[in-house]
Amino acid sequence: MTSSLANAPLRIGAVSYLNTKPLVWGLRERLGDRGRLSFNLPSRLADDLHTGKLDVALIPSVEYLRDPSHRIISDAVIGCRGPVWSVRLLSRVPAAEIKRLALDEGSRTSAALLQILLWEIHGIRPEIVPFAIEQTPEAIDADAMLMIGDRAMHPAPRCYQEIWDLGDRWCRWTQLPFVFAMWVAREGVDVGDLAVALEASRDQGMESLEEIASREAAAHGLTNEDLYRYFAENLHYTLGPEERTALDEFRRRAVSLGLVPETNALNHTP
């Protein structure tokens, strides 16, 4: 059974983190009765897309790589071309000595990215333990932890020997940008002209960063200036040729560690 903007409303899921705000600026109004927009954690969006609870979702790039039937339907993405600020490794020991690693359950892409970087930079594959959304870092029994999203954007205590910004580490290690999430549709779903709405919302969001920052900053314990700079300088919202190359390179490295299956060429629609 297919979905279409011409008949049943598309079920569309977006990430609930701050980094998504410019992508969905005015999107609900643009969709009207053509689609229903909901929000959740990246990992849960991927699960709902896989099980058919959603037709389109902004999912972690590693989840896109794990299912060759999915297709990218827009050039509106969440990426970075340097430090990303909201994806960090906090290590209580030197990174080369990490034996037990807690991975934030919110994003599987960042988990895969960190495992790739630890292997390629230090040649280590630590034991993996979960880091639940409701847990605090102090409650985690691990040498290091991956922290993502809004809770990663505040200063870390001095107890950590190393702190990595994963966007910065990847970009300097590979000389490529990184793509954390993209709009993806399930196989057989007719999205009609949804890409037009997604890209128009992204474009309007980029023109409205000051307004978004002033609306969201205080509730997240950030200054307007800090949040504006996060949107404008730490994040990149367009899937260009370099981002496509970066996705292919991320896939190659993830395959080599068994983090995603070997598949054919990526399914880039736009």
Look at residue 6 in the predicted model and tell me its pLDDT: 47
When pLDDT is averaged across residues 106-126 and rounded to a whole number, the result is 94
Is 206 part of a structural domain of the chain?
Answer: yes
Q: Are residues 116 and 237 in the same domain?
A: no
Amino acid 37: pLDDT:
97
For 32-81, write each residue's pLDDT tens digit. Answer: 999 999 999 888 898 999 999 999 999 999 999 998 889 999 999 999 99
* 167-180: average pLDDT: 97
Verify that 130 and 22 share a domain, yes or no: no
118: containing domain:
87-174
pLDDT of residue 4: 41
Per-residue pLDDT reduced to its tens digit, 188-232? 999 999 999 999 999 999 999 999 999 999 998 999 999 999 999
DSSP notation for 38-76: EEE-HHHHHHHHHTTS-SEEEEEHHHHHH-TT-EEEEEE
CATH code (residue 69) = 3.40.190.10
Same domain, 169 and 42: no
Q: Which residue has the higher pLDDT, 66 or 178?
A: 178
Which pTM does this prediction carry?
Answer: 0.91
In which band, very low, low, confident or very high, does the pLDDT at 133 lie, cut at 50, 70 and 90? confident
How many domains in the chain? Answer: 2
What residues contact 76, with CB distance under 8 A and at least 6 apart?
23, 182, 183, 198, 199, 201, 202, 237, 238, 239
Q: Is residue 266 part of a domain?
A: no
The H-assigned helical ranges of the chain are 27-31, 42-50, 61-66, 108-122, 166-174, 194-207, 209-216, 224-229, 241-256
Average of per-residue pLDDT values in the chain: 91
In a domain, 268, yes or no: no
The verdict on 182 and 229 lying in the same domain is yes
Token pair 């037009």 in the structure block, residue: 196
